[in-house]
Amino acid sequence: MEHRVRLAIMARTTHRVGFALVALAYAAATAGGSVPTPLYVLYQRRDHFGTTMISVVFAVYVIGVVAGLLVAGAHAERIRRRPLLGAALALQILAAAVFLAWPDLPGILTGRVLSGLSIGLLSGPATAYLIELRRRALPDGDPRQAEVVATAANLGGIAAGPLLSGVLAEWAPAPLRLPFVVIGALLALAAILLATVPETTETTAARANRRPLATAPDQRHLFLASCFGGLLAFAMFGLFSALSPTFLSGTLGYHSHALAGLVAFVGLGAAAFGQVGLRKLPPRPAMRTVVVAMPVGLALIVGGVWAGSLGLFILGGVLTGGAAGLLFRACLTTVVQLSTPERRAGMLATLFVTGYSGLAIPVIGLGLATQLAGTRGALAGFATLTLAGLAAVAAVRLRPEQRLEMS
């Protein structure tokens, strides 16, 4: 009996360590996906392409993400978690290698497709892996902690990538090469450590799922509202991860790569804080916080761009990012609560497909609208549409009869 108790304690400790390593691998991969953010200005200056081409670069990235999510959703039930995450890390390392070996525009597009494919393969399975490891390490613990860590690792990595590359581009040599060397080394280390993490699923003979995306069998309106809320949250992330450097250099007149990375980090870091720091906020106050903070934050961002004020822009980024992070955590928690174990991978894939589609909206939409209405007018229109979408999500999530709420 004593021997069995010791084995159980050792197994739980191993799963606890594995939980931390998977979270770090998840963060490293998403950081790899956002490393190019402050570098686009340098690519534009070197190759003389405009904002439209930046939109194309982000569009192919989102195509890669969606393709990866569909592959992961189709094979989630017959491929173990660890090999799938290992493949995602390998693709992200390959993307960094492409940026190093082929720094021209075709190479940039190829690297972004590979990077997006990596994130797509990673997002749903990594979240499920963390939930499973947490349950085995602490069977009596709060299961929501895994969801908080998953979204914080996702957004924390997205925030860290621009800060890393912005600092290196500003003060280190080879600004278009060194960031990819550093992130490639970190990803390789994460892949090595991942090999020590215990598996949580068994290989089955199940065929690939012809419908990798899934919806909730009941309370479908709440599931759809959560997916749309994820789209809005990722649209805010795209606003910072893609357009912050453009606004800083083209509209506000700041050309520091480190500052561009810092501004992206502040907005996305606030989103990560919204996951972790506000995790104990009760359900309805949490949603009301989103409804209040996001409009104020967007108003400050628009006001900062119109007035040419960096301070207003950053303050707006903090409020908007924090609200978007809290919103996405609510959406993820709801989807997990609505899903059964056999449908969880497909429902998470649906959430991430709609979410990452939202990542491209501010880049492509604002890129086109800017040509018609100018930067300031396009940003004001984007903010207005975002607030209308937020009102629709809040109308569903704040209904008195809803049983599944933000936690």
Domains of the chain (ranges, CATH numbers): 2-198+211-397 (1.20.1250.20)
Core vs surface per residue 311-346: b (16+ CB within 10 A) or e? ebbbbbbbbbbbbbbbbbbbbbbbbbbbbeeeebbb
Residue 31 is which amino acid? A
Sign of CA dihedral 139, 141, 142, 148: negative
Sign of CA dihedral 204, 337, 358, 85: negative
Structural element, H or E, at residue 62: helix 51-75
What is d(CA 180, CA 222) in angstroms, rounded to the nearest whole number?
40
Let me know: does 126 contact 200? Beta carbons within 8 Å.
no
Name the stretches of the chain with pLDDT < 70. Answer: 1-13, 51, 74-78, 143, 202-212, 214-218, 242-243, 246, 282-284, 342, 345, 401-407
Q: What global pTM score does this model have?
A: 0.85
CA distances from 342 to 74, 170, 173, 336, 406 (A): 12, 48, 49, 12, 23
What is d(CA 302, CA 251) in angstroms, rounded to the nearest whole number?
12
Closest to 294 measured CA to CA, from 325, 248, 262: 325
Q: Please tell me the predicted confidence (pLDDT) of residue 316.
A: 93
Q: Which two tokens stand for residue 321?
A: 């990012």
Question: Within 13 Å and on the Cβ side, how many CA atoms surround 204?
Answer: 12
Residue that the structure tokens 């930046």 belong to: 54
What three-state secondary structure class fits 67?
A: helix
Q: Please tell me the predicted confidence (pLDDT) of residue 242.
A: 67
Kindly write down the DSSP assignment for every residue of 147-163, as one continuous string: HHHHHHHHHHHHHHHHH
DSSP character at residue 78? T
DSSP character at residue 143? T
Residue that the structure tokens 């390959």 belong to: 94
DSSP character at residue 181? H
Per residue in 53-102, pLDDT (tens digit) is 777 888 899 899 989 988 887 666 667 888 999 999 999 999 999 999 99
Residue that the structure tokens 């972004």 belong to: 112
